[in-house]
Structure 1
Amino acid sequence: MYYRKTDVRNLHIKPDVIVNLKIKMILLIGILIMAVVIIIGFFIEYFVSDTLEAEMGQRALSVAETVAHIPELMEAFSGEDPASIINPMIAPIKESTGAEFIVVGNTDEIRYAHPIPDRLGKKMVGGDNERALVFGESYVSKAVGSLGSSLRAKVPVYSDGKIVGVVSVGFLADDIRSITRTYNEHFWIVLLLIAGIAIIGAVVIASYIKKLLFGMEPEEIAHLLFQKETILQSTHEGIIALNQHGIITMLNSTAEQLLFNSQISAEQYLGKKIQTVLPEPHLFEYLSDANGQSNREMVIGNHIVFVNSVPIYFEQSFMGTVSTLRNKTEIELLAKELDRVKQYANALRAQTHEFSNKLYTIVGLLHLGKKRQAIDYILKESNLQKKWADLLIQKIADPLVSGLLIGKLNQANELGIELSIHSDSVLKSLLCEKQSKALLTAIGNLIDNAMDAVKMKSTRTITIFFTDIGDDIIFEIEDSGEGIPEELSMKIFEQGFSLKEGNHRGFGLALTKQLISEVKGALFLEEGELGGACFVVSIPKDLNKGGCRNA
């Protein structure tokens, strides 16, 4: 079996889309990347500034504590000219540590050391020495001194257990900001490079996703999904889809009716293993077969269905199956409808052939100059057809039944079979559409079977009797054929069983019995007087009992 592959790229709906999915994804991912980069950038900038400032303060404090504990410096405070000893001592320390300034002052805040010699002997500026000189604390502070705003560490100087001065080590705020700016510039460059690479990645990702979606927009996908769901649910055949693990991914309404005889909610089967949902667990092996199934006949509940299962492969990997379920009864009904059409066509063909022969006979008599014989022959045939028509018009109220019997009378006449209708037959009851359909199918099938039964016999006789006297409509069709053995009297009504040779037989009587049962009637076999089979059809005249009110 060949299944055409559908290319979804040819199914574009072309909605009114101003910006396509690829551009949207690039813009959205790009905006997200830039927002993240900016947030991270400002956070790291603040973190670097704060960390660098804390690190510089700690460094200044370490230098100040080292200087404050130099023994020579501590002894110099007791001398006559401390500045002459302390300032030369501090200058090389300042150069080696990289501090902007190292200032040493006494308890009166008079400078003994300063990077600018002219400011020696003058009072320290900033007003932040109290905690060191009064309370003996070591700390880091920010203040504006003689060199400008700075970050500086203050450590008291002790001599003989007493505070005799203070050491101030500082770094200018401008220098700290300059160092921070240099760090941040490098960091922002790296972040922007990362953002650029991320945007390129966004373009690649958007292109890949667009390719996976066959170039379709979300609106197109939504439209196709809605369209697909509508098509699946409106399909007359049952459709069920499974993934590779046997989990139900789709089930249309027709399949629900066939499997469960009712509509059920999707929550009862979607995402569940088929073995736990289906009423017939053995269906799993057929519906999940990776090799597929074709026209497998199965019984599901009250239905006989044909199952076709097609495997789904993607890049050589088995992804699941899609199975269709066709109601065999409906197929057989269609087949019987076609068979009835063929029966009418055969009857008309037989009638045409018969009348063609009769016309040739009339033409021959006229050529021979036997006008009287020709007229008598025409009158005879005309009276026969008129007799049949009048008989059926008088006895049968339903024109379809009359038409079918006239056709069968002509067909039998052509085949040389004596088909007669009992003189006491009568059918004046009106039939509803369902009753008429069942009765036409039954009469057509039973007469055809009777013709098949007698066509090889020397005595080829079929009799029909019908009546609606009483509560039921009765049809009896009897033939002079071989008859049916008693042990097979019930088996002949089973689907697929036939006494005839050949394939695709055994459906006529089964279908006839089913249709008759649907109108609350009965079909059974009796012993006939002609030596062959005698089938009796009985359906109730009451329209309610005959299933017409609910049809």
Structure 2
Amino acid sequence: MNLKKLSSHIRGWSLARQMLALQIVVVGVTVAGGATLAFLQAGDLLRDEAAGTARAVAVSVADSPSVLAAMGDSAVLQPYAERVRRETGVDFVTIMGVDGVRYTHPNPAQIGHRFLGTIAPALAGRTFTETYTGTLGPSVRAVAPVRDARGRVTGLVSAGITIDRISARLREQIAGAALIGVLGLSVGGAGTYLVGSRLRRQTHGMGPAELSRMYEYHDAILHAVREGLLLVDPSGTVTLCNDGARELLGLDGEVAGRRITALGLPASLAERLSTGENRTDEIHMTGERTLVVNAAVVRSGSRSLGTVVTLRDHTELQSLAGQLDAERGFADSLRAAAHEAANRLHTVIALVELGRTEQAVAFATEEIRAAQRLTDRVVDAVREPVLAALLLGKSAEAGERGVELVITPDSGLDDIGLDSRDLVTILGNLIDNAVDAAMTGAPPARVEVRLRVDETAFLISVADSGPGLDPATAGEAFRRGWTTKGDGRGLGLAMVGQAVRRLGGTIDVGPPAGTAGPGIGETGTGAVFTVRLPLRGKEGS
């Protein structure tokens, strides 16, 4: 039960605290394991060193001519053995006969007694080492044979170091190793604390469960929200892109880690997003969408952490706004027509009151015929009701502004099955721009519209009598913000280009002033905009 409580208590710690405890345990186990391994290795090394020293001393003494000459004489051999023992640092040097009787020993009382240990290999002429418990306790010892001139074994020499002495040396080394281990543990603990402090700051003291829930919520929100969301770091690299942004921007593949300028976005949008500046409700055009872009720079003190970019699809709203503008245009045209009709009615009434009835009838009849001719001309040429209504409204609006709007004689159009909203956007904005251009040119101001269908496409051509477009800048006409007025707010032609791309069509600007082809551009000046839209089901015919 106590273990369960402890486990539950630990799970309640922050991630940084758990990592600190885990790292301290890891460092402690590592240091303890290293110290244990060093202790074992040191013990083996000291035993090997003791065996090597004992062997070297035993062989040296056994090869000494003075030992061979004095073999059996304890009075001579004992002082010699003790001097060698003191000088070499071994614990005993024992010289004995082939029967194992000692001639020397650190304890003189042991002289004359039999040697405790193995001597058979030495009697056979082989030097060997072993660990054996003798009169001085357990020791690592070596036994070497003493040979005469004929090579016969005439005695034995044993040298050794006690285990107690080896253990004492090992304890000295353990003390040093323990000190190094404590220092290593202290350094590791300090480093672990610093890492834990940094992790605590970065995780805001939250635990693993809280971080896991936050990630799950974060991931769910990113996938659920319809608006596009981008996170761009100060260097202009995308660090996060949700599904909405992928769809709105038409992005494929991995986006995170790529530069914002390498995503294939329109130049104006990429430039605005990479500047690291705040943006509020800016309108930007992509291939098929109109987007509302907001950007907010996130700061920590004076340091920029990056930019949060939100994207909203404004395409449908922009289309509805275009339709609303068209409806307003129709309403303005009707008001203008009503105003003009009222003036003409007053004229007719005044002629009747003056008794000039025949002139009143002739005046009224001619006005009715003129209006009817315009209506018949538009309706006969354009049987698409939405475009016919648009042309009638634009004709009245252009007339009110002093511009003659002409539908070329070779125009003809039935219901073509294309999206009427896109057609209104394309034709309405082209006529509006043409009227504005014609008003800036030499009189008479004139706009010509040609609508026709060939085997595979619907063609729209709009020409004006304005000053025309510089061929060098004609390609920029469909960029958002381009305008001949110089106010940077041009949107109409950008919407035209977007609608044409959405319908899979193309748009051309030309020919230069005075080179227009037959049937369109007969004004001889100005620009000609020609749109070609493929008919549904006939693109590949």
* TM-score, length-scaled by structure 1: 0.59
| Deviation digits for residues 357-384 of structure 1 (CA, Å, limit 9, x no counterpart) | xxxxxxxxxxxxxxxxxxxxxxxxxxxx
How many angstroms does 1:169 deviate by?
0.6
Partner of residue 360, structure 1: none
Partner of residue 187, structure 1: 177
Counting only pairs closer than 5 Å after superposition, residues 60-79 of structure 1 correspond to structure 2 as: 60-77=54-71
How many angstroms does 1:24 deviate by?
1.0
Partner of residue 147, structure 1: 136
How many angstroms does 1:484 deviate by?
6.4
Given that residues 248 and 269 in structure 1 are in contact (C-alpha distance below 8 angstroms), is that contact kept between their aligned partners in structure 2? yes
Partner of residue 19, structure 1: 13
Query: CA separation in 1, counterparts of 2:214 and 2:238?
Result: 21
The answer to whether 1:268 aligns with 2:262 is no
Query: CA separation in 1, counterparts of 2:220 and 2:403?
Result: 53
Query: CA separation in 2, counterparts of 1:495 and 1:142?
Result: 112
| Deviation digits for residues 214-252 of structure 1 (CA, Å, limit 9, x no counterpart) | 223333333333434444444444332333554432222
Given that residues 75 and 159 in structure 1 are in contact (C-alpha distance below 8 angstroms), is that contact kept between their aligned partners in structure 2? no
How many angstroms does 1:104 deviate by?
0.5
The answer to whether 1:100 aligns with 2:91 is yes
**Tell me, what secondary structure is at the counterpart of 1:268?**
coil
Given that residues 494 and 506 in structure 1 are in contact (C-alpha distance below 8 angstroms), is that contact kept between their aligned partners in structure 2? no
Partner of residue 345, structure 1: none
Aligned AA for 2:331? I
Q: Which moved more, 1:42-51 or 1:190-199?
A: 190-199
| Deviation digits for residues 26-54 of structure 1 (CA, Å, limit 9, x no counterpart) | 22011101110121011000011011111
Partner of residue 367, structure 1: none
Counting only pairs closer than 5 Å after superposition, residues 84-483 of structure 1 correspond to structure 2 as: 84-127=75-118, 129-135=119-125, 137-162=126-151, 163-260=153-250, 267-278=253-264, 280=266, 283-291=269-277, 297-311=283-297, 320-332=306-318, 443=327, 445-451=329-335, 459=343, 482=400
| Deviation digits for residues 321-369 of structure 1 (CA, Å, limit 9, x no counterpart) | 4333344434546768xxxxxxxxxxxxxxxxxxxxxxxxxxxxxxxxx
> What 5-or-longer segments of structure 2 have no aligned partner?
1-8, 346-367, 408-425, 440-484, 504-535, 537-541
Please, what is the CA RMSD of the aligned residues? 4.4
Q: Classify 1:460/1:207 alpha carbon distance in 2 versus 1 (closer, same or farther; 3 Å).
A: farther
How many angstroms does 1:143 deviate by?
1.5
Given that residues 244 and 318 in structure 1 are in contact (C-alpha distance below 8 angstroms), is that contact kept between their aligned partners in structure 2? yes
Aligned AA for 1:288? S
How many angstroms does 1:300 deviate by?
0.9
The answer to whether 1:493 aligns with 2:394 is no
Given that residues 142 and 159 in structure 2 are in contact (C-alpha distance below 8 angstroms), is that contact kept between their aligned partners in structure 1? yes
Q: Classify 1:273/1:189 alpha carbon distance in 2 versus 1 (closer, same or farther; 3 Å).
A: same
> What 5-or-longer segments of structure 1 have no aligned partner?
1-14, 337-437, 519-544, 546-551
Given that residues 76 and 85 in structure 1 are in contact (C-alpha distance below 8 angstroms), is that contact kept between their aligned partners in structure 2? yes
Given that residues 336 and 396 in structure 2 are in contact (C-alpha distance below 8 angstroms), is that contact kept between their aligned partners in structure 1? no
| Deviation digits for residues 47-76 of structure 1 (CA, Å, limit 9, x no counterpart) | 110111111111222222222232211111
How many angstroms does 1:176 deviate by?
1.7
How many angstroms does 1:294 deviate by?
5.5
Given that residues 495 and 506 in structure 1 are in contact (C-alpha distance below 8 angstroms), is that contact kept between their aligned partners in structure 2? no
| Deviation digits for residues 106-154 of structure 1 (CA, Å, limit 9, x no counterpart) | 2222211112223222221112x2222213x233211122332210122
Given that residues 14 and 205 in structure 2 are in contact (C-alpha distance below 8 angstroms), is that contact kept between their aligned partners in structure 1? no
Size of the aligned set, in residue pairs, is: 387
How many angstroms does 1:457 deviate by?
9.4
How many angstroms does 1:201 deviate by?
3.3
Given that residues 454 and 479 in structure 1 are in contact (C-alpha distance below 8 angstroms), is that contact kept between their aligned partners in structure 2? no
Same amino acid, percent of matched pairs: 23
Query: CA separation in 2, counterparts of 1:65 and 1:50?
Result: 23
